[in-house]
Amino acid sequence: MNVAPSDDLRDPSSLYFQYDKVRRSIIASYWLVFFLALPLWWNTTSIERLPLPSSNVHAQHGRELRLPVKIALDPAFGSIASSVESELRNVIQQKHQTPPLDVSIFVGNEQGGWYDEDVYAVKPGETGMVLDGRRLGFPKDHLTPSSLAQTLSSLILPYSAKQEHRVAQYSPRFRLAFTLLNEDASAGQTVTGWDILDAIDRHISPITSAVSVLHNFTIESQVQFHAPLAFEPKPLEDGTFGLTPEDLTIFVNSAEWTLSSSSSNDPVLHFVLFVPSLSRRPLVILNDDGTPSTSNAFLIPQWGSIVICNLPPIPNEKWLSNSDLMTPFSAFSHQLSALLGIPKLPSGIKTSPSTSSLSPWQIDALLRHRMHEAVRRTKDTLLSTVQLVQQIPNMPVDAKAQSDVQNALSALDAVWDSEGGKAFNLTDMLGNSARALTSSQRAFFHPGMLALLYFPAEHKYAVYTPLFASAVIPLIATAIREFLAWRRQRREAVNER
């Protein structure tokens, strides 16, 4: 049945919203939004990864720090200067595969006009080897090139691998916590306090001020009246009590002793003066073979030091005076030096009475050692940063981390510059190397560098597919259909013509 075309049933293509032009522009606008949104999507889902100067880091990693050391021999030793120099180089070479020092020896004395703060002088002396400032008095009668070279090397490079594990890792700030522990005050003969301020002034301050270029110290102290041990000391036949070497490793009862306030993130070095309970005195340290040791102090590597205080019979309450603290605090000061890495003077060498307890030879050796450590750690940290960023594609690198890496590199450059430069200054160089280390550490541990959570590829598809497939497929399909319709129309138009 044919129905005559009426006004009610119009051709769809004549409807306003079905005009080809309108329909196509609607579809096109969808595509437009889609394409405009793409950069936004890309921007919001990508991770900010600024470039790091990795080639520079790799180049820096290859460089080794060699610090110049100048030694002036008194004209009296002029005849053996060259053999001392070669001998000294040999000795240093044997100790280290890559010599960390650039030693040069020349002949001259103060009158000769070379006088310079950083030059070490060797002069003839009368009795024994004596250090006075940067001058070493060496007796002429024992003089051979090798003995002088040995002495010099033990002074300018005193570090051996054996002691290294005790030294605390470098930190610009340290907290020293002094604790007086009564094992059990209720047993009687309690130590109620100590003259800590005087003792610190006398024994600790000389050391802390000598290394003040390197570290900043905060000191805290406390007295405790109940600090039980976690084990029973072994009673000995003569009525004393013994601590076996095994006991020493578990001496610190960390579960029950509070040894330092946790108010800052600085590393803490602990110094404990332990007063045994009345029923367990005297408490002695035993050697491996079970005989009592002459020492009553021991050191826990990188942690701190413990001194056991065996007092003679005392009244029921006692205040430890300056003279009582003499022995324990001289042990503390030795151990603080050991923990900070201040080298001991080789045996047989004395300091002249006029100088302070630490000679410039020791401090310089420490500075050089710390500088090497700082430079090595900086190089390692920078390399690790660059490698990790390469290795973990999700790890963000923001402007802060980037600038920290650059700061570390420029501080390292400053170190290299002053190493070869004329104006060589140990303290400046130390400042630069410390700055390099701090910046590189800050870059590595920058909170923004946390790699985003790992999403396996299948998770990505699982999220994107249901979200986008249902939206994209009709869009694509209509686009294709419109394109085909447009082509058909054009062909028809051509045919008609």
Partner 1 sequence: MFLSFTATLTKAWSFFLILWLTSCLYVSGEYHEHETEVKDFFQRNGSSTHTNNWAVLVCSSRYWFNYRHMSNALGMYRTVKRLGIPDSNIILMLADDSACNSRNKFPASVYANAGRNLDLYGSNIEVDYRGYEVTVENFLRVLTGRLPESVPRSKRLLSDSNSNIFVYMTGHGGNEFLKFQDSEEVSAHDIADAFEQMWQGGRYNEIFFMIDTCQANTMYSKFYSPNILATGSSLEGENSYSYENDHDLGVSVIDSYTHYVLEFMENVNKTSRLTMGDLFTSYNVPKIASHPGIRSDLFPRPLGGGEALHDYGRGSGWRHPGEWVGREQEKSKKGSEALITDFFGGVVGVDIEEDTSDAHHTEASSDSVPKERTKAEKKGVKASPYLAQRTTKTRSWINLKELRAWSSFLIVGLLVGLVWARQS
Q: Is there binding between residue 254 and partner 1 (CB under 8 A)?
A: yes
In the complex, least distance from residue 479 CB atom to partner 1, rounded to whole angstroms: 8
Q: Is there binding between residue 162 and partner 1 (CB under 8 A)?
A: yes
Q: Which of 25, 218, 480, 490 is the binder for partner 1 (CB under 8 A)?
A: 480
Chain residues 359-388 in contact with partner 1, contact rule CB under 8 A: 377, 380-381, 383-384, 387-388
Q: Is there binding between residue 444 and partner 1 (CB under 8 A)?
A: yes
Q: Which strands form 283-285's sheet, in the order they lie side by side? A: 234-235, 241-243, 283-285
Q: Is there binding between residue 312 and partner 1 (CB under 8 A)?
A: no
Tokens representing 265?
A: 């993130």
In the complex, least distance from residue 361 CB atom to partner 1, rounded to whole angstroms: 16
Q: Between vectors from CA 395 to CA 390 and to CA 400, what angle results, nearest 5°? A: 100
Q: Which of 2, 45, 46, 262 is the binder for partner 1 (CB under 8 A)?
A: 262
Count Cβ neighbours within 10 Å for each residue of 125-142 and write b for 16 or more, e otherwise: beeebbbbebbbbbeeee
Q: Is there binding between residue 24 and partner 1 (CB under 8 A)?
A: no
Q: Which strands form 119-125's sheet, in the order they lie side by side? A: 101-107, 67-73, 119-125, 135-139, 129-132, 349-351
Q: Which of 267, 410, 424, 431 is the binder for partner 1 (CB under 8 A)?
A: 267
Chain residues 165-204 in contact with partner 1, contact rule CB under 8 A: 165-166, 169
Chain residues 384-403 in contact with partner 1, contact rule CB under 8 A: 384, 387-388, 390-393
What's the rounded Cα separation, in Å, for the pair 274 and 272? Answer: 6
Q: Which of 67, 185, 272, 285 is the binder for partner 1 (CB under 8 A)?
A: 285
In the complex, least distance from residue 296 CB atom to partner 1, rounded to whole angstroms: 8
In the complex, least distance from residue 445 CB atom to partner 1, rounded to whole angstroms: 5
Q: Is there binding between residue 447 and partner 1 (CB under 8 A)?
A: yes
Closest of 311, 296, 299, 306 to residue 178, by C-alpha: 306
Are the C-beta atoms of 424 and 403 separated by less than 8 Å?
no
Q: Is there binding between residue 351 and partner 1 (CB under 8 A)?
A: no
Q: Which of 10, 234, 344, 491 is the binder for partner 1 (CB under 8 A)?
A: 344
What's the rounded Cα separation, in Å, for the pair 84 and 148? Answer: 7
Contacts of 371 (CB under 8 A, 6+ apart): 65, 67, 415, 426, 429, 430, 433
Q: Which of 15, 33, 326, 450 is the binder for partner 1 (CB under 8 A)?
A: 450
Chain residues 220-249 in contact with partner 1, contact rule CB under 8 A: 230-231, 245-246, 248-249
Q: Which is nearer to partner 1, 197 or 452 (CB)?
A: 452
What's the rounded Cα separation, in Å, for the pair 160 and 466? Answer: 65
What's the rounded Cα separation, in Å, for the pair 366 and 158? Answer: 9
In the complex, least distance from residue 269 CB atom to partner 1, rounded to whole angstroms: 13
Q: Is there binding between residue 288 and partner 1 (CB under 8 A)?
A: yes
Chain residues 78-97 in contact with partner 1, contact rule CB under 8 A: none
In this structure, the strands spanning 190-194 and 283-285 are: unpaired
What's the rounded Cα separation, in Å, for the pair 255 and 429? Answer: 43
Q: Which is nearer to partner 1, 175 or 435 (CB)?
A: 175
